[in-house]
Structure 1
Amino acid sequence: MISIIYLIVTSLLVGHTLGTLHHHNRKPPPQPPVTRFLDFILPDSDDGGWDVLADDSSLRLAAPGPCTVDVRHARDLTQQQFLETYAYNAPVIIVGASDNKDFRALTRRSSLLSWLGESKVRLSSANTYSYDKRDVTFSTYCHQHMKPQSLQTLANETFYLFGDHSHPQWLSLLEDYNIPPYSLPGHSPMLSFGVAGPGSGVPFHFHGPGFAETIWGRKRWFLAPPDAAPIFNPNRTTLQWLLEDYPKGPPLESMLECTLNPGELVYFPDRWWHATLNIDPCVFVSTFLSP
């Protein structure tokens, strides 16, 4: 009788111990992925009228890549968490940060051409230093400068629209943009509006902190910390670097990247290296944070 009781107690103890070990070794359930904003604000076919070459994919050389940047939804990221985790330390993709559906409607291709087609815009060369400038009408830019980027064209020979808006109507347009709901102490927001063709972009460069939101199209970002400067030629395009130079160079373990969908934004800290590559024709707004 004693032996039977001993066996029962022993079995219970062993079972309890194994159950406890199993409980402590169990991995926590995975967190649900952040729903990317594009999934519920835009139908897949809606490109704002910008993708006039959508049927000729053979002209496209740029493609999305992996995402190694933290992706957070604004409802789960407070201002305090932003300051503690990202503001001075690392980039982050933020989903659902601002409601810019009205601004998106204003920046459809047909709307902008109708409203601002004959206004003058200043184009910048798409190299690291953007030292060369050209003035054209917005209509001329849309019809002549937004073709898919060629691998034979250098960055200093490519011109794109970003910033340098002196026409009052451009400034009026930006008044309808809702800036991101995050801030840095002692910094004020300054807005820049851009439109660029597929395969275009800017090679690696750095400046102060800020946000960049994609309104129409997809934009691929490459980012590296201030102390890990990438190897690149400032006059070669991001497309040339990605397809021809990057595969031959040493691996950059500190490099981060992600492709922004419409309605998403990226935050880049002060002096972080970054390069951009427009997968589609893109409309975008940057909110630079100036001390």
Structure 2
Amino acid sequence: MAWFRRCVVLLLLVQWVKQEDTGGWGRESSLNDEGECNIEVRDVNSITHTEFIREYAYTKPVILRGVTDNTKFRLLCSKDNLLREYSKKTVRLSTANTHSYRKVDVRFEEFVKVLLTPQSEDTLGSDTLYFFGDNNFTEWNSLFEEYKAPPYGLPYTSPAYSFGIAGPGTGVPFHWHGPGYSEVIYGRKRWFLYPPDHSPEFHPNYTTLSWLTQSYPLLETHNKPLECTIRPGEVLYFPDRWWHATLNLDTSVFISTFLG
């Protein structure tokens, strides 16, 4: 009986460690409001590639669960490991506004230890430096080689990766481009999406956090977006030309697979 109780305690401890595992990135200053989730969620066992193409690829977003096993990639993306491997490498940061992007080159160590901070609501997009994309694929290739992209491709497209790390309260305002996937490795990322024929109202230099607190509560029901917060183990697919904005609720590590 004592042996059984010890096993139960050990199992609960392992589950707790998994739940609390942030890869060293922490949850200080995290945002609590995950909002609702009105995007369809499909498990890997409940959808085939053919069904994905027919039901979602060209028509609407979907969240896929269990389609990839990126356990090794996740371990490699821990804070300690990335600092050990890339601290002296130069990364390119971009401002998080819609139409104009200022680029700043810094050492990865400086970005993580100095610039990776929570964002306040009144910070403008042009004053927010965001690490996403502009990755040096030669220097980061050994990391990207370990990433397993979602298996459902689109005809006549090939994948391209964009890797990022961002603090709580940061994100990119509404914009659109080609289709792709977004996967969170650590943290939580809240998504807001509109179809191509429904242009959202937003200020191009205001952050998503500002839009969420000032404009979102005033939206009438028919003007509200599709939205959901994704966590590690979930992948969001967005079709071509869909408007979308993102908000990192925690310090988040994430990767997108663009299909072009």
User: Do the two structures share a fold, i.e. TM-score over 0.5?
Assistant: yes
User: Structure 1 length as normaliser, TM-score?
Assistant: 0.81
1:168 alignment partner, SS class: coil
Q: In the aligned structure 1, how far is the partner of 2:58 from the partner of 2:67? A: 19
When residues 138 and 62 of structure 1 are mapped into structure 2, their CA distance, relative to the original with a 3 A threshold, is: farther
Query: Over aligned residues, Cα RMSD in angstroms?
Result: 1.6
Paired residue total: 246
1:43 alignment partner, SS class: helix
118-127 or 167-176, which deviates more: 167-176
Does structure 1 retain, via aligned residues, the 8 Å contact 2:73–2:146?
A: yes
In structure 2, stretches of 5+ residues that fail to align are 1-14
- Runs (4+) of structure 1 exceeding 3 A deviation are 59-62, 249-254
- 1:35-74 equivalences in 2 (<5 Å): 43-51=18-26, 54=27, 56=28, 59-61=29-31, 63-74=33-44
Q: What corresponds to 2:90 in structure 1?
A: 120
Does structure 2 retain, via aligned residues, the 8 Å contact 1:228–1:254?
A: no
- 1:20-169 equivalences in 2 (<5 Å): 43-51=18-26, 54=27, 56=28, 59-61=29-31, 63-129=33-99, 131-166=101-136, 168-169=138-139
Q: Which of 232, 237, 259 is the matching residue for 2:207? A: 237
Does structure 2 retain, via aligned residues, the 8 Å contact 1:62–1:278?
A: no
Same amino acid, percent of matched pairs: 51
Does structure 1 retain, via aligned residues, the 8 Å contact 2:178–2:259?
A: yes
Higher relative contact order (CA 8 A, sep 6+): 2
Q: In the aligned structure 2, how far is the partner of 1:128 from the partner of 1:252? A: 24
For residues 38-82 of structure 1, what are the alpha-carbon distances to aligned partners after superposition, in whole Å with 9 as ceiling and x for unaligned?
xx897221100001xx3x5xx444621110000001121100000
165-174 or 261-270, which deviates more: 165-174
For residues 174-207 of structure 1, what are the alpha-carbon distances to aligned partners after superposition, in whole Å with 9 as ceiling and x for unaligned?
1110010101101110111011001100000000
Q: CA deviation at 1:168?
A: 2.2
Q: In the aligned structure 1, how far is the partner of 2:43 from the partner of 2:170? A: 28
Q: What corresponds to 2:216 in structure 1?
A: 246
Q: CA deviation at 1:251?
A: 3.8
Q: What corresponds to 1:275 in structure 2?
A: 245
User: Aligned letter for 1:172?
Assistant: S
2:154 alignment partner, SS class: coil
Q: CA deviation at 1:254?
A: 5.7
1:161 alignment partner, SS class: strand
When residues 71 and 251 of structure 1 are mapped into structure 2, their CA distance, relative to the original with a 3 A threshold, is: same
Q: CA deviation at 1:170?
A: 1.1
When residues 211 and 167 of structure 1 are mapped into structure 2, their CA distance, relative to the original with a 3 A threshold, is: closer
Q: What corresponds to 1:220 in structure 2?
A: 190
Q: In the aligned structure 1, how far is the partner of 2:241 from the partner of 2:217? A: 25
Does structure 1 retain, via aligned residues, the 8 Å contact 2:31–2:250?
A: no
In structure 1, stretches of 5+ residues that fail to align are 1-39
2:19 alignment partner, SS class: coil
